Structure 1
Amino acid sequence: MNDASLPANRGCILVVDAQRNTRAITANLLRARGHTVLEALSGEQALATLAKSEVHLLLTRLQMRPMDGLTLLKCALEVAPSLQVIVTTASGSIESAVESMRRGAFDYVTLPFKEGEMLHRVERALEQTRRQATIGQHAGKFSERPGPSALVGRSPAMRELTSLLQRAAPSDATVLVQGESGTGKELVARAVHAASPRKNKPFVLANCAAVSEAQLESELFGQPRGTRTGAARARRGLFKEADGGTLFLDEVTELTPALQSRLLRTLQDGEVRRVGESTPQRVDVRIIAATHRDIEQEVREKRFRQDLFYCLNVVPLRVPPLRERVEDIPVLAEHFLQRANARGPRPKRLSGAAVECLMDHGFPGNVRELENLVRRAAALAEGDELQPEDFLLPRLPPRRAASKRPTKRRARASV
């Protein structure tokens, strides 16, 4: 499905409802607004349509037989992970509608619906398709890089992150990305840059934890040749390299107090001074910083400057750990397996038991750990279908495993 082809305010919508009158009323309403509308009277028929047609939005009734709306939702997102889904349900079945959103639906509408409400929710869903297409295309460009590679997920937490990212990207506001190791903070930073007006300018990465203070100062701000012992060549500096574009400061909380002070002055003045020089140089750089630490705790304990924190934290983006978006695991695992299959001698596939096993795992290493587990299993498995034992994971006690699944109470809170 090519979401980039979605025309402004128009889309291809598949309406699924076993009740002919309701289906016809909905389809005619949407056609009157200029949308292309396909119809299906069952979940099975809908899946056949999705397999051969470009669909931007699936609008399905929850109460159907033999395949109900929740089952159709699951199968449809496996066929087209970027598909938006709106479910319709009787007013007495709101809990099922909330459950559908926990499983990846965009929204729900109660029956009988009001025309204005239905059209409003459809337009919101199609707008989300456009937003995801923009970010998804940019994220896809970076998916061949090592590490996490799926920015847009179906979980409420990832939808919230994507929405905030899309709103923040067009501005020059400084962004602070927080999240555990392996969640994909660099990918988020790259997506912000790629969805911004600076997308055709440099994206420059600086790892603040990788080198010594002196080396990092020279690397960030630049240094003339011979300024320090061992400075055999001049350094332009990453700020100047990123001029007009974006500078990503990874692990920013690892900066020493002296470098924090220099960074703050640069952000305030828009100027850099190379090491050993007094003449400033103007720079036009958007800063995106990231850390896996609790930066507010670092501020309270006087390890990180409060004024610098405020300067960086204009737009805070939190990347959720994988255990908070368990429903994204099947799609991510399938994505990583497809990449592994492209490099392997023969294609592998995931068994249902393997998916359940992965969803029960705690993933302390987050998306990076999932990617490595899938790559290892694909390389070592003897059969064509990956089984739980191929992932070499310790078995979790049933109670601990079950506790990681989102509850209906938590699902309501996130809607």
Structure 2
Amino acid sequence: MSFRTLNDAAQTAELKSKRVLVRVDLNVPMQDGKVSDTTRLDRIVPTITLLREQGAKVILLAHFGRPKGEVKAEFSLEQIVPALAHAVKHHVSFAADCIGDAAANAVNAMQDGDILLLENTRFHKGEEKNDPDFVKALAANGDIYVNDAFSAAHRAHASTEGLAHILPAYAGLTMAAELTALEKGLGQPARPVIAIVGGAKVSTKIDLLSNLVEKVDALVIGGGMANTFLAAQGHNVGKSLCEHDLADTARAIMAKAENAKCAIILPVDAVVAWHFAANTPHQNYGVDAIPEDGMMLDVGPQSVERINAAISDAATLVWNGPLGAFELHPFDAATVSAAKHAAERTKQGKLTSVAGGGDTVAALNHAHVADDFSYVSTAGGAFLEWMEGKPLPGVDVLKNQ
């Protein structure tokens, strides 16, 4: 699968003086009026830098929050400008609208190499509706379209999909890196492939699990969702988080895995506590001996050994979701151990490791190994839908035909 990338544009098209509309992800966390995590800003710097070096006029499109088609001050992108300018190490101008006179006047005032941020695209109802007239209004300010926001690629919105139909369209550098990593993860991976899926509930990841069992050689299930599978096998899970009403679904997924010759790896032991709190008294139990009043808050040491052995056998790892309540010490032990083992195998050149999802990124940062994975996606919904095997409109429109 190949995509039109910004590198292609740099080689085949004259970017100098061109107005380049770049869809970026500026949906960043804020605290006390300032950006509290600059990860997403840092990810778009390479694309902006390349365009500036080529002499393009860089016009940034983005959404922020959920204003639902109304202008709301708390969702203005103007508050992002200082942090963005610091990230790109260059002055960033701002226009009070993304279409109309405000946008056109700001674009017309640009010099080659300038950076302009247009106001929140979601201040217009036409953005989420992918309205053709709104798409044309956006396109009026650009000669070329670049999408560098994989995290929004699962939405067929005007600025993520519509523009690619009426302007020459390319994947930005970060988008291209993400697509390359994902292709190595599940598209055409080196085998054996192992997936680790954790998190609280099976109900949020039924499509994901059903898709993975047909694509990977082994599937590790951890977190609260493992309890649902254990209960479906007849184990007593005490007061652990468990969706008992999904027992049939769990059994169906296990049957599908067996038919697909995908090994499902469930916990054989667990760290049990009686209160959901850090450093609360806890004890290890086999999954066939969980106390009636206990809660499984992490997978146990024997389970960690099995997971790490499976990672050692794999050539490719795809990870979404923690193995336990990693926010609470010591119930982070399994997640940290598996993350460090995967990171070490990756550094040795023995494993391609791709991870994504908000909790997963937080867990890998907690284990201090995020930089050691082959690729860590900051995309939440888009990464999950990719793992589920669903089409991503903002990606599909960039494919070479």
The answer to whether TM tops 0.5 is no
The structure with the greater share of residues assigned to helix is 1
Larger radius of gyration: 1
**TM-score normalised by length of structure 2:** 0.28
